[in-house]
Structure 1
């Protein structure tokens, strides 16, 4: 039954995407972040659902006139340069044929990000995309949060099977990045049960992130909390609330979780941390000897023997050193340029949109995207998630919101009729019945 439901949703949305390709963007994002087909037990598990979503979206993109240039802001230009450099690095790398699958995966993600920016033009599009991005991970995170609560935090929480974030540490960071997006969506709702529901969702996602037993996720949560506190209007009140929530969640976790988190201060005695340092030294050595980068295969034992005093070969466990080893110093420069320009654009957008009453939601989105990126910058320092979709989706949100604001789209977009199925956050007006 689960297989039938998933395939039915995919096929229906793919058909709609031929005429409304922005729906295909939502479908692709849902499949990419949540991997719902991996929770099936039959034919849907290995079905080419991502290919169906991408194919229908690209075909619809070619047929529609309702699109814009994806290069109306600086982050997509950085992404284009990075995409070109990654291709060069892969082509002249150590093992182009062996690395083809990873290159192909990265290219598909990047192409779909460009398509996303080109197709999301209205407030309806942007809000729907934000709901899909946040909701895809929040649903899995809430499940993990309930598991953490019911098990007393004694077991680790893992992400969607066969996905970028299947591993517990990666999933923890993804949930940390999702929480600010949920907060943005909450701000779009009128006071009532839906706001309370999103509060519960955020708390469960936080519990799930802690339940992943990821030290990187803990550091990311701490960094985001500090940023939220600093930007708060009443720092004393918000500080007390954040302190109570954080201490309650941490106190709930078992003693072995506390002992694992305590190794952050004593990393020299932790084998995992020492292994990360060896991997970082290896990436630095590879980047020095391979100016174009080594492609996607710098983590070979022969390199660790040369650059990390014979340590056991392992993944970089850092977005920065992962890019450095894979694509060299130029690749790292482009990668940092991409996300620093995104963060800077969000900051400028937040300040500019505050001055326009009809664009307050843009200011809120930009602010929460900045918080999400801080979680990525901090948590990603300890994880090999340089190519993970979520960070690029956050970039896309900032860019499309920036374009919407610069074009003053609130002057041309309609007010939507209020229906029970209306997208939360859209400006609506009550419908009136015609007299007979």
Structure 2
């Protein structure tokens, strides 16, 4: 049935994407996050949807008239500079070159998505459609899995799909947290227009929270807690948000399993937790990798090369101030860095980490700046809310991915692209003409009233 539906609707989707590039871009994001091939079987599963939608989007843009001007700004240049730096680190990798270039190719596709966000998105409709596609991918999966979690009485553990970018439950939890502010923005914009939209988005927000709990991800829980506090402070509906939060906490407390409560309680005693300290060992080896290759690092996936892992382990005691408790490097297999920051540090050196962190911080501050300017210069309220929610999504990623090897996630680069679009295109066009136009003091002097 799903095959028939997908094959039946596919020609219409391709037609709409060919007519409107922003639709193609939204579907590009949808396929990257939803992984439609895992949902269909037979003939429909043999189609490479992401490649198809990407190709149609690019061709649709190429024939589009009146293309908007490409305005990457300083933030966009940071993203490009970081990509260029990863190219050099791949060229000089100390790991397996074939693996490094494979990951570089995937990252190049993500940067291509980022570029076309800057090329295609130019107004509110485009932004809303793209964010709606995010909700229809990550949010849809959260709805299905969270309902299973609730029906099972909290015994169903939520995992991502095997082979997908969100296959790991910890990474899935971070994606759930990043989607929450997007739902909040769409709720404010479309919840008043449709009862179905309001109930659907409110339900999705609640199920996203249950989804984070259902993954049993400690990093996801920390990100959710910090995000909830930040959302409460930023929200103009503090009473409503507070009431909903209390209701959700009460329901979660009733259905959360003992396993989940036990995992969350280990946050207080992280230094005694073998799993967490094992991650600290990986962080220390990533640091040693950067110390030995400070300029370009070791290249993509270099830490996960067992030969490199063993070689780094020889210097494990060279930095005694880097505390790892009684945990030592594994002598049977290598591990991932388990932190976007240590991941980038080890793979691309101190310069690469500086570029990456500067990129995230700049995107966060720029989103806040857009929200502030929207308020001060008389732009519509939706723009201020949108900028604030994008800021929260970036914040959720920065906190939640601090213990995950998740540095090259499609969604974070797409959201950074949207922040640039808001600053360079949407905000200037949304400011009332009387406030946007510069004041002509000479004309003002000519039209002043004469002194009586």
Unaligned runs of 5+ in 2: 317-327, 434-452
Question: What per-residue deviation string (whole Å, max 9, x for no partner) do you get for residues 70-106 of structure 1?
Answer: 4343321111111111111111112322322211111
Distance 1:392 1:281 in 2: 27
Structure 1 residue 337 corresponds to structure 2 residue 340: no
1:420 aligned partner: none
Distance 2:353 2:398 in 1: 14
Give the deviation of 1:250 after TM superposition.
Answer: 3.5
Give the deviation of 1:114 after TM superposition.
Answer: 0.7
1:216 aligned partner: 219
Distance 1:86 1:58 in 2: 24
Give the deviation of 1:226 after TM superposition.
Answer: 1.3
Structure 1 residue 227 corresponds to structure 2 residue 217: no
1:30 aligned partner: 30
Give the deviation of 1:235 after TM superposition.
Answer: 5.5
Distance 2:422 2:253 in 1: 36
Change (3 A) 1:9 1:101: farther
Change (3 A) 1:278 1:229: same
Change (3 A) 1:42 1:410: farther
2:39 aligned partner: 39
Change (3 A) 1:268 1:84: same
Structure 1 residue 322 corresponds to structure 2 residue 350: no
CA contact (8 A) 1:349 1:366 kept: yes
CA contact (8 A) 1:15 1:56 kept: no
Change (3 A) 1:80 1:150: same
Change (3 A) 1:262 1:26: same
Question: What per-residue deviation string (whole Å, max 9, x for no partner) do you get for residues 371-413 of structure 1?
Answer: 111211111001111111111122122222222334325779x
Distance 1:267 1:46 in 2: 45
Aligned pair partner of 2:393 in 372, 379, 386: 372
2:422 aligned partner: 401
Q: CA RMSD in A?
A: 2.2
Distance 1:295 1:69 in 2: 34
CA contact (8 A) 2:135 2:183 kept: yes
2:276 aligned partner: 273
2:185 aligned partner: 184
**Mean alpha-carbon deviation: is it higher for 356-365 or for 241-250?**
241-250
1:428 aligned partner: none
Aligned pair partner of 1:289 in 289, 292, 302: 292
Change (3 A) 1:25 1:254: same
1:263 aligned partner: 266
Distance 1:246 1:340 in 2: 31
CA contact (8 A) 1:359 1:405 kept: no
Aligned pair partner of 2:405 in 373, 384, 394: 384
2:13 aligned partner: 13
Aligned pair partner of 1:205 in 187, 199, 208: 208
The 3-state SS of whatever aligns with 1:132 is helix
Change (3 A) 1:246 1:409: same
1:429 aligned partner: none
Distance 1:161 1:174 in 2: 16
Distance 1:92 1:11 in 2: 44
Q: Tell me which structure has the larger Cα radius of gyration.
A: 2
The 3-state SS of whatever aligns with 1:408 is helix
